[in-house]
Chains A and B, each alone.
Chain A
Amino acid sequence: MELLGSAILILARWDVVAALVVGSVGGVIIGAIPGVGAAVAIAILLPATFSLDPIVGLSALLGIYGSSMYGGAIPAILINTPGTAVNALTTYEGTPMTERGEARRALSLAYSASFYGAVFSIVCLILLSPVLAWIAPMFGSREIFLAALLGVILVVLAHRGQILLAGMMAGFGIWLNTIGLETLQYSQRYTFGQTWLSGGVDLIVVVLGLFAISQAFVLLVEPDKRAHAEPITGGLLSGFKELAVYKRVAAASGSFGVMMGMIPGVGEFTAQFLSYTYAQKTSKTPEAFGKGSPEGLIASETANNAVPAAAMIPLLALGIPGEALTAMMLSVFYVHNVIPGPGLFQNQLDFVVAIYLALLVLNVLVLVFLLFSTNILLKVIEIPTRFIGMAVLTLSFVGVYSLRNSAIDCAMAAGFGIFGFIMKRFSLPIVPIILGMVLGGIMENKLRTSMMRVKTPLDFVDRPIAFMLFLIIIIVLASHAFGLWRGFKTSRESNR
Chain B
Amino acid sequence: MTQHREESIHRPGVQIFIALFVLFAIFLLSQLAAETRFVPNGKLVEQPRFWPAIGVLSMVCFGLAQIALSWRVKAGWNPGEVAVWLRAFEYLIWFMVYVAVVPVLGYLATTMAFTISLALRQGYRDVRSLGAAALLGLAIVLVFKTGLAVKIPGGAVYEYLPGPLRNFMIVNF
Residues of A within 8 A of B (CB): 47-48, 51, 159-162, 164-165, 167-168, 170-178, 182, 184-185, 187-192, 213, 216-217, 220-221, 224, 269, 273, 386-387, 390-391, 393-398, 401-402, 405, 407, 410-411, 414-415, 417-418, 421-422, 425-429, 436, 440, 443-444, 447-448, 451
Contact A426/B13 with A190-B28, A269-B1 known, Cβ cut-off 8 Å = yes
Q: Find out whether the CB atom of B95 lies under 8 angstroms from the CB atom of A397.
A: yes
Contact A48/B66 with A224-B123, A393-B118 known, Cβ cut-off 8 Å = no
Contact A168/B66 with A162-B8, A390-B118, A418-B89 known, Cβ cut-off 8 Å = yes
Q: Find out whether the CB atom of A427 lies under 8 angstroms from the CB atom of B8.
A: yes
Q: Find out whether the CB atom of B8 lies under 8 angstroms from the CB atom of A426.
A: yes
* A481→B74 CA distance, assembly (Å): 27
* A51→B149 CA distance, assembly (Å): 8
Q: Which residues of A contact B99 (CB under 8 A)?
A: 397, 401, 407, 410-411
Binding stretch for chain A, among B130-138, B155-163, B164-172 = B130-138
Contact A175/B55 with A394-B111, A401-B152 known, Cβ cut-off 8 Å = yes
Q: Find out whether the CB atom of A448 lies under 8 angstroms from the CB atom of B98.
A: no
Minimum distance in angstroms from A212 CB to a CB of chain B: 11
The B interface, classified by DSSP as helix, strand, loop or mixed, is helix
* A184→B43 CA distance, assembly (Å): 12
Closest residue of chain B to A217 (Cβ to Cβ) is B88
5 closest A-B pairs by CB: A171-B58, A175-B55, A174-B55, A161-B5, A167-B62
Q: Find out whether the CB atom of B52 lies under 8 angstroms from the CB atom of A178.
A: yes
Contact A395/B140 with A410-B95, A428-B8 known, Cβ cut-off 8 Å = yes
Q: Find out whether the CB atom of A390 lies under 8 angstroms from the CB atom of B46.
A: no
- B56 contacts the other chain (CB 8 A): yes
Interface string of B20-38 (1 = CB under 8 A from A): 0110010010010001110
> Which of A167, A213, A451 has the largest count of B CB atoms less than 10 A from its CB?
A167
Closest residue of chain A to B86 (Cβ to Cβ) is A221
Closest residue of chain A to B148 (Cβ to Cβ) is A48
Interface size on B (CB < 8 Å)? 80
The A interface, classified by DSSP as helix, strand, loop or mixed, is helix
State which of A387, A402, A415 has its C-beta within 8 Å of the C-beta of B124. A387
State which of B7, B48, B63 has its C-beta within 8 Å of the C-beta of A187. B48
State which of A167, A182, A189, A418 has its C-beta within 8 Å of the C-beta of B92. A418
Q: Find out whether the CB atom of A170 lies under 8 angstroms from the CB atom of B115.
A: no
A-B CB contact pairs (8 Å), 12 listed: A51-B149, A161-B3, A164-B62, A168-B22, A168-B59, A171-B58, A177-B55, A221-B88, A387-B122, A402-B144, A422-B88, A444-B50
Q: Which residues of B contact A160 (CB under 8 A)?
A: 1-2, 5
Q: Which residues of A contact B1 (CB under 8 A)?
A: 160-161, 269, 273
Q: Find out whether the CB atom of B150 lies under 8 angstroms from the CB atom of A426.
A: no
Closest residue of chain B to A164 (Cβ to Cβ) is B66
* A167→B43 CA distance, assembly (Å): 26
- B127 contacts the other chain (CB 8 A): no
Q: Find out whether the CB atom of A221 lies under 8 angstroms from the CB atom of B84.
A: yes
Q: Find out whether the CB atom of A387 lies under 8 angstroms from the CB atom of B37.
A: no
* A410→B100 CA distance, assembly (Å): 10
State which of B21, B36, B129 has its C-beta within 8 Å of the C-beta of A190. B36
Contact A168/B63 with A221-B88, A428-B8 known, Cβ cut-off 8 Å = yes
> Which of B25, B48, B94, B111 has the largest count of A CB atoms less than 10 A from its CB?
B48
* A391→B114 CA distance, assembly (Å): 10
Q: Which residues of A contact B111 (CB under 8 A)?
A: 394, 397
Contact A405/B36 with A386-B122, A395-B140 known, Cβ cut-off 8 Å = no
Interface string of B84-117 (1 = CB under 8 A from A): 1101110110111011101000000001001100
Minimum distance in angstroms from B89 CB to a CB of chain A: 7
Q: Which residues of A contact B8 (CB under 8 A)?
A: 162, 426-428
- B4 contacts the other chain (CB 8 A): yes
- B73 contacts the other chain (CB 8 A): no
Contact A187/B37 with A167-B62, A387-B122 known, Cβ cut-off 8 Å = yes
Minimum distance in angstroms from B101 CB to a CB of chain A: 11
Q: Find out whether the CB atom of B55 lies under 8 angstroms from the CB atom of A440.
A: yes
Q: Find out whether the CB atom of A175 lies under 8 angstroms from the CB atom of B148.
A: no
Minimum distance in angstroms from A196 CB to a CB of chain B: 15
Q: Which residues of B contact A410 (CB under 8 A)?
A: 95-96, 99
Question: Beyond A192-B35, A393-B91: 4 further Cβ-contacts under 8 Å?
Answer: A159-B5, A176-B55, A390-B136, A418-B92
